[in-house]
Amino acid sequence: MPVEHGQAIDIERLRARDPQVFEAVVRTHYDRVYRLALRMLGNATDAEDVAQEAFMKVHRSAPRFRADSSLSTWIYRITHNVCLDELRRRKRRPLAQGLQGSDDEHLAVEQADDGPGPEEAALSADERLRLRRALDGLPLEFRSVLVLREVEDLSYEQIASVLKCPIGTVRSRLARARRLLAERLQRSDDHELQERVSSAASLR
Amino acid sequence: MSCRSVSHLLPLFDDPELSAEERASVAAHLASCNECAQELATIRRAQLQLASWRVAETPASGPDAIIARLSETGRQSARWRRRFTRPQWAGALAACVVAMVLWITWPDATPISPAEDAQPTPMLFMATQEGTAPFAASRSLALDPLPPMPLEIVLHSDDPLSSGQKLVARLAEITPETTPILLEMPDGSVQVQLEAVTPARLHDLLSTVEQSDAVEWGYDGWLAHIPHVDMETALVVVIEATGASN
């Protein structure tokens, strides 16, 4: 019986969708699922919805769970896929709407949503916003590896299992993703510095 | 050791997964290259920022809401199970199974053979799922036993909108039971979506469309395609212009 995070999960009962086992699974894994969704999607409301959807899928797919990956990797994989579905849905806008809704509008909604959010005060609101923008600007496969590694602290092997790709791909994506994120954050630093200089100049 | 030869390892320098030799080669380079050392510092700063962007609390009611929804689902599926295990359903179920087996093994469902002429087809066909790596193995669409799922056909070409319009018109003609939707995407491509199609039906559709010449593309009955094992998903077909088609 695999023991994960101090909790023994009976795989047979999980496959049989035993309500008691599921309750334990939800309580044990909720924080991880929610965190991944929040970092992938950028706002608390969507993260909560996606977390719900992910657990519904875990429940539906439970009879097909093979213990060849760990339970948490499997749950991460399902959550990650639900996140991609949600991001794809967002991109998809009917022709008429696509002409009206601007990206700025979309960003404003996200910020308002993220405002009083459950972030720790380790970063200032401004730093969080810049991080969010830098992360959102990255191609999805880079965002995924960064969140799984830097936020969720998974190993290369676990990430490969979540994304169903070779470890070599994880390595090369992670290397490129870290470089890209650093470049983007640096650029936004430079940009802010410039703005401060020019506003100081205009005060004079 | 040049900057280029360690550049793919530099951002991974702090990871325990790096081998001792790899780490040593990067360290040796860093000792003599100020530029790379600075780059590593910038990368580390970004890494630290991302890692300290912790989520302090998650919604306390989250797990309860899910558990409540799951127990509701459980009750519903138990009702369905009871209904379908009544004796009068047994015959119908057996018939369905026989039909499924016939459908999957039907001799007509063999893939049409790839085009024999060496002419490059103007369009390349491939199925992909966004955010995943390219697929290892290709398989026949006609023989794919997957259940119906939402379909997205992504068109990239010089004039994807008019190709998309032609495709929608043609699909509406040959599949009156579905309503294809045409979407213009932010990246300039065009998507045609159908609610639910089995891969085998998609094979029929694409073969028919091609014969009609309404849209100029090549389709050989095979897709590089990952069937999704964990959950239901959309089937995504990407059509890209591979050469000057006009």
pLDDT band at B109 (very low <50, low <70, confident <90, very high): very low
With bands split at pLDDT 50, 70 and 90, how would you rate the model's confidence at A190? confident
Cβ pair B50:A182 closer than 8 A: no
**Cβ pairs A/B, distance under 8 A:** 160
Tens of pLDDT along B38-97?
A: 999 999 999 888 887 766 567 888 888 888 888 776 665 555 444 444 444 444 444 434
CB contact under 8 A, A34 and B59: yes
pLDDT tens track for A54-93: 998 888 888 778 776 788 888 999 999 889 888 877 765 4
Residue A148 has pLDDT above 60, yes or no: yes
> What's the mean pLDDT when you consider all of chain A?
77
Which tens digit of pLDDT belongs to each residue from B199-219? 667 767 766 655 544 444 445
Nearest chain A residue to B48 by CA distance is A150
pLDDT of residue B97: 40
Q: How confident is the model at residue A173 (pLDDT cuts 50, 70, 90)?
A: very high
Q: What is the identity of the amino acid at B222?
A: W
Identity of the residue numbered B25: S
Q: Is A199 helix (H, G, I), strand (E, B) or coil?
A: helix
Chain B residues in contact with A105 by the CB 8 A cut-off are none
Return the SS3 of B217.
coil
Query: How high is the mean pLDDT of chain B?
Result: 62
Look up residue B111 and give its DSSP letter.
P
Q: Which residues have a Cβ under 8 Å from the Cβ of A198 and sit 6 or more positions away?
A: none
For residue A186, what are the contacts with CB-CB under 8 A and spacing of at least 6? B42, B46
Q: State the pLDDT at residue A104.
A: 39
Interface touch A56/B73, C-beta < 8 Å:
yes
Reduced to 3 states (helix: H, G, I; strand: E, B; else coil), residue B183 is: strand
pLDDT at B141 (0 to 100): 57
Query: Mutate which of B18, B50, B154, B193 to test chain A, going by most A C-beta atoms within 10 A?
Result: B50
pLDDT of residue B203: 67
User: Which residues 193-212 of chain B have a CB within 8 Å of chain A?
Assistant: 193
B51 to chain A, closest Cα gap in Å: 5
| Integer Cα distance of A77 and A63 in angstroms | 16
Q: Do B63 and A56 touch (CB under 8 A)?
A: no
Above 80 in pLDDT, residue B125? Answer: no
Q: What percent of chain A has pLDDT over 90?
A: 28
Distances (CA, A) of A71 to A163, B67, B72, B228: 14, 18, 23, 18
Kindly list the distances between the CA atom of residue B84 and the CA atoms of B79, B80, B174, B233, in Å, as whole numbers in the listed order: 9, 6, 34, 26
Interface of B with A in 59-118 (CB under 8 A): 59, 62-63, 65-67, 69-71, 73-74
Average pLDDT for residues A14-27, to the nearest whole number? Answer: 87
pLDDT at A11: 81
- Encode burial over A20-49: b for 16+ CB neighbours within 10 A, e otherwise: ebbbbbbebbbbbbbbbbbbbbbbbebbbe
pLDDT at B80: 45
Residue A3 in this model has a pLDDT that exceeds 70? no
- pTM (2 d.p.): 0.57
- List, for residues B145-161, the tens digit of each pLDDT value: 666 666 666 666 667 77
Residue in A with minimal Cα distance to B62: A48
Contact present, A77 and B230 (Cβ < 8 Å): yes
* pLDDT exceeds cutoff 90 at A131: no
Q: What tens digit of pLDDT does each residue of B13-35 get?
A: 999 999 999 999 999 999 999 99
